[in-house]
Amino acid sequence: MDWVYLAENPLWIVALAWLLALFGIVYWESMTQRQPFSKVFSQIDVRISLDLAILLFSLGLGLVTVPLWEKVLWFVLSLACLGLVIFSLRLKKRVG
């Protein structure tokens, strides 16, 4: 059994579950607060969670793909998401 492959696959699966849960929570909050979905979705904490989930997803798929060009594309997306996470955390710290 390939233990490395078994360890790599859960990354993107957990990330998809995280995204599904995030959308459900944002939808529920928008209904309970009587605010538009887009307003709740644009909050900084939600954006950080979304970026982290996409980062985890792209890392997971970057690890399990075989062709080099696919790995490069997934890791470039991972770096972009990491940049968004860092930017959002700095923005949150500055705003308070």
Q: What is the 3-state secondary structure (H, E, C) of 44-55?
A: HHHHHHHHHHHH
> Is the pTM value of this prediction over 0.85?
yes
Tell me if residue 3 falls in helix, strand or coil: helix
Question: What is the tens place of the pLDDT at every residue in 42-90?
Answer: 999 999 999 999 999 999 999 999 999 999 999 999 999 999 999 999 9
Per-domain residue ranges of the chain: 3-95
